[in-house]
A and B are shown apart, each in its own frame.
Chain A
Amino acid sequence: SQQGEEDPQALSIQEGENATMNCSYKTSINNLQWYRQNSGRGLVHLILIRSNEREKHSGRLRVTLDTSKKSSSLLITASRAADTASYFCATDAMGGSYIPTFGRGTSLIVHP
């Protein structure tokens, strides 16, 4: 079964609005990473957040991690049409062999 599960499955917003995606996982983790994928292409790494971190920022991206709730969120502020893509979280189980497990992704559409 998938370790990370993104929510919502799909999100449609207007340019300039903020987009929030959530990721829940089942077991304790070492790290959690967020990726973006444009239609049918390779993934682009966005942010890695370690289990002892609570929040990280990168440009318009803000990632939070709540290990007590086993969840993470990705916030994209002031979205642009170019942010239209699928977003995935990937986790690796603590004590495991660092095999990343991906969720099914959130499909984000930003309308110009």
Chain B
Amino acid sequence: KAGVTQTPRYLIKTRGQQVTLSCSPISGHRSVSWYQQTPGQGLQFLFEYFSETQRNKGNFPGRFSGRQFSNSRSEMNVSTLELGDSALYLCASSSVAGVSTDTQYFGPGTRLTVL
């Protein structure tokens, strides 16, 4: 099976812009989760989607949003970008809901740089 894919792999934006990141889970997986990784804050959970519904949400402002489509592909959107949004954004998929209860498979990440 193909692994989790994320597009684009690298992105450069300027403050105030918005960005959309995409994640395609492993075939058959219905749960997709998003994480932000920065040197300062480490790895932080953003949200989890299962069957097009947001199940859990981390402690991030409303500028961070996501959605999941019927084919389980997911997008994450960040509006009004700030310098602090520069990070590696990781997507993970699993076959069941509940990110802590099953093995998650991570994609390679999207490196976002905000100038």
A: residues with CB less than 8 A from B are: 2, 30-31, 33, 40-45, 48, 88, 90-92, 97-105
CB distance from B96 to the nearest CB of A (A): 11
CA distance A59 to B103 in the complex (A): 17
Interface size on B, as a range, is 20 to 34
Interface residues of B in 71-99 (CB under 8 A from A): 88, 90, 92, 98-99
CA distance A98 to B88 in the complex (A): 22
Q: Is B62 an interface residue (CB 8 A)?
A: no
B: residues with CB less than 8 A from A are: 4, 42-45, 56, 58, 88, 90, 92, 98-109, 111
- Of A2, A30, A42, which contacts B107 at CB under 8 A? A42
Chain A interface SS verdict (over half)? strand
Q: Are B43 and A98 in contact (CB under 8 A)?
A: no
Residues of chain B contacted by A44 (CB below 8 angstroms): 106
Q: Which 9 A-B pairs have the closest CB atoms?
A: A42-B106, A92-B100, A102-B43, A43-B106, A98-B100, A98-B98, A104-B42, A45-B103, A42-B108
CB distance from B39 to the nearest CB of A (A): 10
